[in-house]
Every structure is written in C-alpha cells, then in structure tokens.
Amino acid sequence: MLAMETSPITSKKVLTLVFVFGDFDGERRVLLGMKKRGFGAGYWNGFGGKVEKGETILEGAVRELEEEAGIRVSHLERAGMLWFHFEGDPTGLEVHVYRGETFEGVVSETEEMRPEWFSLDKIPFHIMWPDDQIWWPVFVGNKKFCGRFRFAKDQKEILAHDVGIFESLPCEMEFGSGEWVGGVLVER
Ligand SMILES: COc1nc(N)nc2c1ncn2[C@H]1C[C@H](O)[C@@H](COP(=O)(O)OP(=O)(O)OP(=O)(O)O)O1
C-alpha cells in the first residue's frame, strides 16, 4: 500500500487540463502554454483551471481552453484523472485531463498563457510540473490513466506517486486510500 496521505485532506478543488494535438507536415505536435501568473507560473502546461459552479467538468475544460488559448474545440476526449496533494495543504486537487484534436479560432497569447506548439520528441519536461514526465508516456500512448501524487511543501519534490492504466474513466479513488476503486485497473 502506498502512503499517499500524511497530512489530512479536508476539501478538494476540481480542475481541468486540456492538451490539443496537431499534425504539422507529418510531425505530431502538442500545444502547451507558458503559465504567466498564478499557480504553476513559469511552467509549460496544458490549458485549464477551476470548474465553475453550474458547469460540467467538460464545459469547464472547453471554457478554460478558450479563455487561455483563444481556441474552441468541438470535441474533447477524456484521457485521465490526476490527484495532487501538497504536504500541509488540506485542499487536494482533482484534475481532469482531456485531449483535443480539431479546433476553431486562432491560437493566441492571453493574459494567463503564452501558447506554443511542441514536437512530441521535444517536450520541455525540465520546465513543467515534475509529475508530468511520469504520466505523459501513458497519456501520449492513448491509454486512459489515473494518478496520485503527494508533493512536499516546496511543491517540487514528489514524495509518493501511483499511476495506473484504466479501461474506463472515471476511476473513483480516495486521496488517502491505498487501493483504487472502480474502473478496471490494467497496469500499475
Ligand atoms: C501539481 O501538478 C500539476 N501538474 C500539472 N501538469 N498540472 C497541474 C498540476 N497542478 C495543477 N495543475 C493544472 C490544473 C489546471 O489546469 C491548472 C491550474 O489552474 P488555476 O489554478 O490557474 O485555475 P484558474 O481557474 O485558471 O485560476 P485563476 O483563479 O487564476 O483564474 O494547473
């Protein structure tokens, strides 16, 4: 059993994270954004944020992508779920990860993000959240995944983590539990 919880989690925030992929003369690329302010500033990441009252998680994902990158997707595929816990912070993060392919509009820099297309063999993991390189290979392999990460207070060191491949989402899981509940765990 993985010791995922050493300081208690009493609430959670639900967030979205969207990665848009595209083909450029046969080269597969992904759109990342340099976060310019707030949580995760200075990191490249997908686009997303908090789900607002009255909207579904998918609606939140579509809205955040438009707000942060100026583009509108007609279809987003559910790709994974990530749980994050920072030592000493009672609020855990439940992040719903989506992938998109076709979009309308022009990719544009916004107040929050500076978007840029990256070739899949040049992902800047050294300037991304440290968890990304752990779940990314499963994600780009088109497998559905769930992962839990317990970070130190410095928000840099990963103290424990657990990533599984699932046949379906959502994978119901509690932050502190050692066992996955729901979904069908294929690999761990
Ligand atoms: C801790 O590890 C994380 N890794 C990755 N890859 N992404 C993460 C991690 N923790 C959070 N995120 C994602 C989830 C969201 O997409 C953003 C955070 O969103 P934010 O807090 O900026 O939400 P907004 O609603 O946009 O915030 P404002 O209040 O600034 O509008 O990072």
| Residue 34 confidence (pLDDT) | 98
One-letter identity of residue 158: I
Q: Kindly write down the DSSP assignment for every residue of 113-174, as one continuous string.
A: EEEEEEETT---GGGB-TTHHHHHHHHHTT-EEEEEEEE-TTSS-EEEEEEEEESSS-----
| Residue 1 confidence (pLDDT) | 40
Asked if the structure places residue 150 within a domain, the reply is yes
List the CATH number of the domain containing 155: 3.90.79.10
Asked if the structure places residue 69 within a domain, the reply is yes
Asked if the structure places residue 184 within a domain, the reply is no
Which residue is closest in CA terms to ligand 1's atom 19?
49
Asked if the structure places residue 22 within a domain, the reply is yes
User: pLDDT tens, position by position, for the chain (188 residues)?
Assistant: 455 556 788 889 999 999 999 999 999 999 999 999 999 999 999 999 999 999 999 999 999 999 999 999 989 999 999 999 999 999 999 999 999 999 999 999 999 999 999 999 999 999 999 999 999 999 999 999 999 999 999 999 999 888 888 888 887 666 555 555 555 555 55
Query: Cα(26) to centroid of ligand 1, in Å?
Result: 31
Asked if the structure places residue 183 within a domain, the reply is no
Q: Which residues pair with 158 in a beta bridge?
A: 151
Asked if the structure places residue 123 within a domain, the reply is yes
Asked if the structure places residue 29 within a domain, the reply is yes
Asked if the structure places residue 59 within a domain, the reply is yes
Residue that is written with structure tokens 């749980």 in the block = 83
| Residue 153 confidence (pLDDT) | 95
- Judge contact between 146 and 135, C-beta under 8 A: no
- Determine the Cα–Cα distance for residues 108 and 139; give it in Å rounded to an integer: 25
Position in ligand 1 atom list of the atom nearest CA 67:
26
Q: Which domain holds residue 27?
A: 11-161
**What are the angstrom distances between the C-alpha of 100 and each of 83, 138, 178?**
21, 16, 31
Cβ of 33 closer than 6 Å to ligand 1, yes or no, is no
Asked if this assembly's ipTM is beyond 0.95, the reply is yes
Cβ of 95 closer than 6 Å to ligand 1, yes or no, is yes
Give the residue, out of 15, 30, 132, 150, with the most ligand 1 atoms within 8 A of its beta carbon, to mutate for a pocket test.
15
Query: Cα(142) to centroid of ligand 1, in Å?
Result: 22
Cβ of 48 closer than 6 Å to ligand 1, yes or no, is yes
Task: Specify the number of domains making up the chain.
Answer: 1
pTM, full prediction: 0.93
| Residue 166 confidence (pLDDT) | 87
Query: Cα(40) to centroid of ligand 1, in Å?
Result: 7
